[in-house]
Amino acid sequence: MKEQIIKILNEIRPEFDFSQEGVDFIEEGMLDSFDVVTIVSDLEDAFSVVIDGMAILPENFSSVAKIEELVNNSKKR
């Protein structure tokens, strides 16, 4: 799952290295609110989940681990 999440992130923002550990993607300006909307759609398609709108918070997109946790906590389609 981690590799697929990194692939999605790289397709949206290829200028950044999302494989880095300990980097907050939001704080570092690697992702913005428009990116998050696209990522949610891509994650839902890639993993056959429905991400709750209440879970679409910056802290849930701050790292690959947080995104993976978000996907794992989302409802399956």
Q: CB under 8 Å to 6, separation ≥6 — which residues?
A: 18, 19, 64
pLDDT digits (tens, 9 = 90+) for 13-23: 999 999 988 99
Could you tell me the end-to-end alpha-carbon distance of the chain, in angstroms, rounded to an integer? 17
* Residue 50 confidence (pLDDT): 98
Tokens of 51: 């991400």
- The pTM of this model reads 0.94
* Residue 61 confidence (pLDDT): 98
pLDDT digits (tens, 9 = 90+) for 52-64: 999 999 999 999 9
